[in-house]
Structure 1
């Protein structure tokens, strides 16, 4: 990826960065970074780990009312069958084959954000089944975990493995929340 200036960012990268920047708080004694200037050489692991408070911070934090929890569910059998048989349209699809986790995460978040904004309800995400040496694919394991994290929970209502004709265990059906 190398060093990139803020002016070199695509619209999708800028949207992703703004989402990440709004969800963070500066460390004690550090200046706040503006949303227009992404930090350089930031990996997805650092982005994900930065939002997790330490045990000490949790123990000393004052009690606050908990915000309403947004939960994702698995599809019910009739909905999954309708998708598999083509009676419910799959309005979008994205293929994450051959991407690194960072690339796949950015593309998936951007794709789902645009689909949600466009009022799309059902999409297919192709992760691949993994290596031919029998190992389970990294993206195949990671994508369902990502869908349970904060940036995705507001977009995704439910997800489930796709039917064989849509990629089987190497793909996921995703139902997006209704756009308000």
Structure 2
């Protein structure tokens, strides 16, 4: 009888322990729920305070995006090029009389007034190193004139002092007359950049070429 009573007391004690544990768990859950509710209430209150402070708001309007095309290449100065060509043609005449300016020697040479004979002598002797060359033979007269003018201007601008101009011997011209040779001499004399020229040595083109001395840059 005593054993049965002891067993009943133990069962009752365990039940109370379980009930107490459950009660404590419910209290903790209730406390956590109350804390969460308080935090949410505070968050809502702060959010409402911010909304009242700044007033009504509207979403920002997005500006329409415009697709930009790639930057176009720089325009080619065609008119400027045409003007330069026109000036060059006007500055080099086919009617210019050069007979009084050429030194009629064994190879026909030219030196601008104020340039001594030693200059043409040194040119003929090859004491000036040829730095650039242009080949005109085979071109039409207007093509050769433009090519020569552009060549002389570019060489002078680059600081080149001595060049060779190949005009050919005229063996393929009607009557085998060296028309381009005569015109080349006339054109060169009209170029202010040219100080002097002589017929090239045989190894450098002979009667089919001229060795030309250009003025220093700035002169």
- Does TM-score exceed 0.5, indicating one fold? yes
Q: Is the 8 A contact 2:123 2:211 kept in 1?
A: no
SS in 2 for 1:119: coil
On the 8 A contact 1:72/1:159 being kept in 2, the answer is no
Please report how far the alpha carbon of residue 77 of structure 1 lies from its aligned counterpart in structure 2 after TM superposition.
1.8
State whether residues 164 and 212 of structure 2, in contact with CA within 8 Å, keep that contact through their aligned partners in structure 1: yes
1:12–1:110: 8 Å Cα contact kept in structure 2? Answer: no
In structure 2, the residue matched to 1:111 is 151
Closer/same/farther in 2, CA of residues 116 and 145 from structure 1, 3 Å limit: same
Higher helix share: 2
Deviation at 1:20, TM superposition (A): 5.1
1:139 counterpart residue number: 180
1:97 aligns with 2:137: yes
Q: Secondary structure in 2 aligned to 1:76?
A: helix
Q: What is the number of equivalent residue pairs in this alignment? A: 125
The alpha carbon displacement at 1:164 in A equals 0.3
Pairing partner for 2:214 from 156, 176, 179:
176
Question: Which structure 2 segments of 5+ residues have no match?
Answer: 1-75, 97-111
Distance verdict in 2 for CA 1:155–1:13, change over 3 Å: farther
Instruction: Provide the residue aligned with 1:158 in structure 2.
Output: 196
Cα separation, partners in 2 of 1:140 and 1:10, compared to 1, 3 Å: farther
- 1:157/1:177 contact within 8 Å kept: yes
Give the aligned partner of residue 51 of structure 2.
Answer: none
TM-score (norm 1): 0.58
Partner of 1:121: 161
TM value normalised by structure 2: 0.48
How far the C-alpha of 1:17 sits from its partner, in A, is 2.4
Pick the structure with greater CA Rg: 2
* Aligned-CA RMSD value: 3.1
Question: For each residue in 1:101-128, what CA deviation from the matched residue of structure 2 results, as whole angstroms up to 9, or x when unmatched?
Answer: 1000000000000000000000000000
Q: Tell me how far 1:8 sits from its aligned partner.
A: 9.1
Q: Deviations over 1:38-63 (max 9, x none)?
A: xxxxxx8xx767x9xxxxxxxxxxxx
Runs of 4+ in 1 over 3 A off after TM superposition: 7-14, 18-21, 70-75
Alignment of 1:1-180 (within 5 A): 9=78, 14-19=83-88, 71=113, 75-83=119-127, 88-132=128-172, 135-149=176-190, 152=191, 154-180=192-218
